[in-house]
Amino acid sequence: MTVPFLVDCDTGIDDAIALSYLAAHPQAEIAGIVSTGGNVAVTAVHRNNLVLAELLGVDAPIARGADRPLVQEPMFADDTHGPGGLGHAVLPESAHPGDPRTGAQLWVDLARARPGELVGLVLGPHTNLALALEIEPELPHLLRRLHFMGGAINHRGNTGPTSEWNIAVDPEAAQRVLSAFTGAAQRPVMGSLEATETVRFTQDTLDRVTELATDGGHPIARILVEALRFYFEFHQADGFGWMAHVHDPLVTAHAVTGDFASTRPLAVDVELAGTLTRGQTVGDELGRWGRAPNLEVLTEVRPDEFVEHLLETLRAGLGRLSDPAWSPRP
């Protein structure tokens, strides 16, 4: 039985790997994609999603999200993901028409169409999910569950000293999402930096993705190799050595399989007013707020098992993927 996912992402390099994993996994269905500005501007994110979906044979609506965060001025991470968002990768032109709806409307329409079935997976800022909640406040009860990559609990940030990128880009949106999903049937799962940074792509990982691209391999593999090469160069320049922290795929694989990490309940909120800490995700480990836990936070990650699973899923799945399953609508 396949599980339908709505993927809201700011594609980006690790988002692209996560989308490829979902398309390759036999138990996952990409029911829709929402393009959210983040790593690069929403126009570039949307183009990346259209091209990747076409190459992956994903026959699902792909909607462009809002032009900017709810309150804060937009910021981008082209130093990390490259000016186009996929590093050194050269993308083919896409004729994929995309969906005329807004990203927020696509969230609402898909959740209403499949009540209790659709799993929300947010791999970028929460802007469009927050806008969707304004249209449909019942969204937390229509979705089967929400998983997101974001935040950092008692761990340094990767954007501000205490803030993680997806939350830092639109803290108001993240705070509204956490508030709205408090009381959902299943607590949302948060894959924060202290969990996702246990996953380290090395040269060996890069070599094994390169193998997927050789001998008539799937064209997406070549794109991932060229994207990852840029990612490694960024991490080396940033002092991490020749490696890459790859965040989104771990959260995605856990959302599909429930494996490769455990979770722990925690009351979490987003700092909006801190002059030094705006965008920080604060976890109330001691129960000082007197609030019940509102999230399940990934913990006890098994990174090596996950990387093996990711590479095997791509190897087995990419070969199976059909040619583009969509044809431009008349």
The C-alpha atoms of residue 100 and residue 108 are separated, in whole angstroms, by 14
Q: Which of residues 166-225 bind ligand RIB (CB under 6 A)?
A: 166
Strands 3-9 and 189-191: unpaired
Residue 23 in the binding site for ligand RIB (CB under 6 A)? no
Q: Binding residue for ligand RIB (CB under 6 A) from 35, 39, 105, 128?
A: 39
For residue 196, the Cα-to-chain-centroid distance in whole angstroms is 12
Q: Is residue 52 within 8 Å of 15, Cβ to Cβ? A: no
Give the one residue of 56, 149, 189, 224 binding ligand RIB; rule: CB under 6 A.
149
- Minimum CB–partner distance for residue 122 and Ca ion (Å): 9
Q: Confirm or reject binding of residue 8 to ligand RIB (CB under 6 A).
A: no
Q: Is 12 in the site for Ca ion (CB under 5 A)?
A: yes
Which stretch in 110-118, 123-131, 152-160, 234-242 sits in contact with Ca ion by CB under 5 A? 123-131
Question: 38 vs 69, which CB is nearer to ligand RIB?
Answer: 38
Strand partners for 154? none
Q: Which residue reads 């160069």 in tokens?
A: 233
The stretch among 59-67, 158-166, 261-269, 291-299 that binds ligand RIB (CB under 6 A) is 158-166
Is 247 a residue of the active site?
yes
Work out whether 247 is an interface residue with ligand RIB (CB under 6 A): yes
Q: Does 164 bind ligand RIB (CB under 6 A)?
A: yes
Q: Given 245, 247, 254, 309, which residue is catalytic?
A: 247
> What DSSP assignment string belongs to 279-325?
TPEEE-TT-TT-PPP-EEEEES--HHHHHHHHHHHHHHHHTT--S--
Query: Closer CB to Ca ion, residue 15 or residue 109?
Result: 15
Residue of the chain from 7, 8, 15, 122 that contacts Ca ion (CB under 5 A): 15
Helix axes 219-237, 303-318, angle to 10 degrees: 150
- Residues between 124 and 153 with contacts to Ca ion, criterion CB under 5 A: 124
Across the chain, which distance is largest between two alpha carbons, in Å? Answer: 59
Give the count of residues interacting with ligand RIB (CB under 6 A): 15
Alpha carbons within 13 angstroms on the beta-carbon side of residue 280 total 18
Any alpha helices (H) in the chain, and if so which ranges?
13-24, 42-56, 78-81, 103-113, 127-135, 139-142, 165-169, 171-180, 193-196, 203-213, 219-237, 248-257, 303-318
At residue 274, the 3 state secondary structure works out as: coil
Give the residue numbers annotated as catalytic, written as ranges. Answer: 247
Site residues, ligand RIB (CB under 6 A): 10, 12, 14-15, 38-39, 123-124, 149, 158, 164-166, 247-248
Site residues, Ca ion (CB under 5 A): 10, 12, 15, 123-124, 248
